[in-house]
Structure formats: C-alpha cells, structure tokens
Structure 1
C-alpha cells in the first residue's frame, strides 16, 4: 500500500497540486487552500505542534508519514518535512491509502 502513496504523491507533484515548506503550507491552511497536510515522522516538536494546531483549527486532515528524506524522494525533491495537497481528489486517495498503511491519524 505504501507504493500507492508514493505513486499518488508523485502524480500530484507532477500535476502541480502540492505545496511544500512550513510557512507556505501554514499560509495555505489558513486560506483553506489545502485538503490534506502530510508531515514527516521526524519533524521537530515545534513544527509538529504548529502544523497540528493549525490543521485542527481549520479542520484540515493531517497525517504523519515516512521521514523527510523519503517524502522528498517521493515528489522528486530534496528532503521535505511538510507537504500540503491542494487537490481534493488527490487528498481523498492519499488519505485512503495512508490510513490503510499506517493508520496515521494525528
């Protein structure tokens, strides 16, 4: 199932439906421009708290997944700690597959 998550992340990146970087993602959460936030399992405590609080406040699903190096690799970039999914369809599919893999609710 993890392979499906990797595939959907790569597709979403190529389609231009992902944003990365803590500040950009937090800004997108506030503007309700993302339908899912993916946070690496090795994010700092400060980043974890900040992103978790924003997602709860704005009712955006959040999942912990992989580590910063694998997240970056899945989207063809350097390491990434926070990814925001801008497209509802991609977010729905990613949630479905992530919940089967890790049960990653935060």
Structure 2
C-alpha cells in the first residue's frame, strides 16, 4: 500500500481517534463534534445525503474518495462505509494527505 492517506488512517485507528460505522458516526455527530467525515464512494445515496447534511450543519469536511473495501482493508474489516475523525490535528493531517492536496 503506497497511499499515505490510508496509511495515516490506520495510525489514527490505532490511536483511537476514529469512529467507524453508520450508527456510531450518526450518534457521534448528533452529540459531539467530529472534525472530518469519510464516506465510501459506494455508500447509498440516502446515507451520503444524510452525512453531507450533518457536515454542512456542523461545518465539517467530507472526504469521498475511497471505496468501502479500501477503507475496510486498512482498518481490519471487510468494508466500512462511514468513518468520523474525532481529533482535530489528525483530521488536518489526513486532509493534507489527500491526493488533490499533493
């Protein structure tokens, strides 16, 4: 794996700075503040709209560049469609590692 974004996402998981899954992320967004939302490219249109609305209401960036299997593979799961980053510095580092920023 040569994608620095995905490598750093794995480090963020080990540090306990991410929340995975639709229900957990929805609960987090309704209660607390997340700093970045990652949506799989193959997420359903309804789910995508729901999380994009959360992001818009709370002024959170959304990344929609990786498939659910790519996200799942790096985090030790078969597939993951929604991830929230709960640390501001880690979210900023992840954004800086996105392909369009390099």
TM-score (norm 2): 0.89
In structure 1, the partner of 2:54 is 54
In structure 2, the partner of 1:64 is 64
The answer to whether 1:16 aligns with 2:13 is no
In structure 1, the partner of 2:41 is 41
Q: Separation in 2 of the partners of 1:29 and 1:23?
A: 10
Point out where structure 2 has 5 or more consecutive residues left out of the alignment. none
Q: How many residues align?
A: 100
Query: What is the DSSP-based 3-state SS (H/G/I as helix, E as strand, rest coil) of the residue aligned with 1:65?
Result: strand
1:43-96 CA-to-partner distances (Å, cap 9, x unmatched) read 100111111011101111111021000100111222000000011111001111
Point out where structure 1 has 5 or more consecutive residues left out of the alignment. none
In structure 2, the partner of 1:3 is 3
TM-score (norm 1): 0.86
More strand by share: 2
